[in-house]
A and B are shown apart, each in its own frame.
Chain A
Amino acid sequence: MHKSDRSNPQLNLEVESIVAKATGGDTEAFGRLYDIYADRIYRHIYYRTSNVEDARDLTQEVFLKAWHGLPRFQRNKASFLSWLFTIAHNRVIDYYRTKKYHSYLDNEIVMEDRGKGPQELVEAKFTQQQVRRAILQLPEEQQQVILMSFIEGFEYSEIAAALNKTEGNIRVIMHRALKRMREILDKVEV
């Protein structure tokens, strides 16, 4: 799991200064933001689309949209990264609409496999694919909270700021999401 910017104050300060420059129209500064975050956004989108080519294209679109939305970001309390993730989330939702529903669920993605034996590896991969499928079947808001928390490592306060909600709301959504996932997985196991 990744860490959000808050766990690295120095990076956070640097990013704030770069974002300020980019908001002033400095395209080189925006290029630096791309260097820092493109891989994170790409990985997130790949997890949700399971398609390398689409994930690359969508990553590009997210950054283009971010550039055009920068003036609006200044008024937002969320971190730049969490704001990028909300753009990515919305872009992926638009992407789902253009694809056959659920087709993205059928594909498998590469999962973490360090330090596991062959049997363990197979089981772990299977479990992770099931968990991923369950996440992708959640309603959009629950999906976003689970991904931002468990996959991207954002703190509840950051998720709340990005989604314009209270931390209490985020906890409730998280609880509902996990319950729903449990139900989905229990059905699969049956």
Chain B
Amino acid sequence: MEKIEIILTECIKDIKSGRATLAECLNRYPSRRSELEPLLNLALNIQGPPFMELEGSYKQAAKARLLQQIRADETEKSRSLTDVFNFGIPRRFAWARVVAYVLVALIVVSMVGGGTVYAAQDSLPGELLYSVKRGVEDVRLFFADGSAAKAELNLQFAQTRLEEMSRLAFSNRERAQLAVNGYRGNLDAATEQIRNVTSASTRCTLLKGALEEMRNQLGFCDNAIDAAPAHPEPVREASTLCITEQVRLLTMLAQQNNVEAAQINLAAMQNRLHRAQTKAESGNYQVMEVVLLQYREFNQLGERILLDAQSQNNNDTEIEQLSLAALSGYLNTIDSISQLIPQEYRNSVEACRQATLQFQTQARHGHQNQGDSGTGQGGSPSGNGGGATTGQGSQTNNPQDTGGSGNTGSGTPNHTVSPTPGTGGNIDSGNGTESGGGTGTDGGSGAGLGVTPSPGNGGNADGGNEPGSGNGTSTGGGIGAGPTTIPSPKH
């Protein structure tokens, strides 16, 4: 029997080209009618926006700006010493440049026994031998076997750019910036090469290796920032590029293995939080704010991976469990950071808290749906369910998740999810079996201290690791300390 995807796409093609009507297509495949009809109806209903044009004057101005920028980029390139070594060969003859590099390299090697090439390895942007160094890299890339090998080389060269940047960040901003520009180029090229890898398993392995490399490079950038260079801007830009690259690679990995992508992403979130905490402890609040922004990038990505999984019912339960296990710990860390910093920096911490809560809510939402169907596997591993517990106030709860007997806490909810009555069972209590039912009012009201993270007393049964202080009682739910670390990604 013909495959449904072939039938479907051929029907769409025939109908769109006028070779057949919808009815004719359906009559061709009577046994597939029920499957085909809704999909064809939908396909024929997809329309784009009407033809839109950029406004004439805007378009002309935009084109002029674009060409101006392109010319400026080209001029800068041609000014750079690197282009001296392009031998005036136009870029469409890139192969000829490479041949020229090889010849020059051979001549140089034969003349000075490789000393120049060797010496060039230690050169920095703006120095005469730097062109030789980059030329040698180009030759290695040219001869690398396949996209995977080229991607790995580009990542290796990216690390070289970072090292150049960190050496120059103490002396010369412009030259450090040249190294960062090179870093961006190496990362873009690596991503492009990874996209070109056709074998799914090779690409997956390559992505994981690249992510490990990017983690190391981010650590390198962190150290470079901590060394308090005279010109921190290029270093910060490199750090941002590194984060963007990680997000890009994780997005690609999520398409192939969303669980591993979620694990690595959660580890990246944890890494950023720990650094933010260290910076808060040392009173370096500005760096802390930047790191918290990086945390939010990963948080947002984590939420997207989860949403994609939930919308496809693809490993969603596993990702929800992983996320829930990790996020409650992260909220504790965020609370402890909040305790360490002056008032004027609390907004950025609060923004992180809200973002994390939103992610947690999304994870709980799916988790709750699993619980409703009575097939829950338990969420945070170490909770002890059941029993009446004296609550300690402000909870970080998704109201809809309140199961068991609900909370009657009287602390001021520190996290701004509105308390509304929740219904239904909660599956996150320790041994992971469904229990409860009934109704709960979460969040409570009254005066509480709000932000003090006290270890998980009562209330929410998601591992009981929610922060809170204040006074109140909570019945049902569980006690427990959810893990603050997540399982390592499988390699």
Contacts and interface: CB of A to CB of B under 8 A. Distances in A.
B230 interface: no
A24 B90 contact: yes
A127 B54 contact: no
A110 B49 contact: yes
B70 A30 contact: yes
Given A43-B49, A97-B247, A150-B46, A139 B39 contact: no
Nearest to A150: B46
Nearest to B147: A164
A38 B59 contact: yes
Interface in A126-149: 127-128, 131, 135, 137, 139-141, 146
B8 A178 contact: yes
Given A139-B308, A175-B4, A175-B8, A23 B91 contact: yes
A188 interface: no
B66 A164 contact: no
A112 interface: yes
A28 B74 CA distance: 13
Interface string B87-117: 0001110100000000000000000000000
A14 interface: no
B163 interface: no
Given A34-B63, A174-B5, A97 B300 contact: yes
A178 B43 contact: yes
Contact of B54 (A56, A93, A111): A56
Contacts of B66: 31, 34, 60, 63-64
B65 A47 contact: no
B70 A27 contact: yes
Interface string B41-61: 011011111111110001100
A178 B42 contact: yes
Residue with the highest number of chain B CB atoms closer than 10 Å, among A24, A25, A43, A178: A178
A162 to B, nearest CB: 11
B307 A101 contact: yes
Nearest to A155: B13
Interface string A101-113: 1000000011111
A171 interface: yes
Contacts, number: 148
B342 interface: no
Nearest to B189: A72
Interface stretch (B170-178, B191-199, B428-436, B481-489): B191-199
A47 B48 contact: yes
A174 B52 CA distance: 26
A182 B37 CA distance: 11
B304 interface: yes
Contact of B251 (A31, A93, A110, A131): A93
Interface string B289-324: 000000001001101100110011000000000000
B39 A182 contact: yes
A64 B69 contact: yes
B33 interface: no
Majority SS of interface residues in chain A?
helix
A39 interface: yes
B39 A43 contact: no
Contacts of B71: 27
A92 interface: no
B42 A47 contact: no
B297 A97 contact: yes
B6 interface: yes
B255 interface: yes
B185 to A, nearest CB: 9
B67 A111 contact: no
A184 interface: yes
B140 interface: no
Given A25-B74, A38-B63, A43-B52, A146 B46 contact: yes
B9 interface: yes
Interface in A52-97: 56, 59-60, 63-64, 67-69, 71-72, 74, 93-94, 96-97
A39 B50 CA distance: 12
A35 B49 contact: no
A141 B312 CA distance: 13
A179 interface: yes
Contacts of A171: 5-6, 8-9
B9 A60 contact: no
A154 interface: no
Contacts of A180: 311-312
Contacts of B53: 39, 42
Nearest to B44: A150
Given A24-B92, A101-B303, A175-B8, A131 B49 contact: no
A71 B297 CA distance: 31
Contacts of A179: 39
B38 interface: yes
B84 interface: no
A79 to B, nearest CB: 17
A112 B45 CA distance: 12
Nearest to A63: B66
A66 B53 CA distance: 20
B28 interface: no
Contact of B192 (A20, A72, A141): A72
Interface in B246-283: 247-248, 251, 255
Contacts of A69: 192
Contacts of A178: 8, 39, 42-43
A2 to B, nearest CB: 8
Contact of A111 (B43, B50, B92, B251): B50
B97 to A, nearest CB: 11
8 contacts: A27-B71, A28-B67, A30-B67, A47-B48, A93-B251, A128-B47, A151-B48, A175-B39
Given A27-B67, A114-B50, A185-B42, 17 more contacts: A2-B51, A24-B90, A24-B92, A27-B71, A43-B48, A68-B73, A71-B92, A96-B304, A97-B297, A101-B300, A111-B49, A151-B47, A156-B13, A175-B9, A178-B42, A180-B311, A184-B311
Rank and list the top 7 A-B pairs by shortest CB-CB distance, nearest first. A175-B5, A151-B48, A150-B46, A171-B5, A24-B92, A112-B50, A171-B9
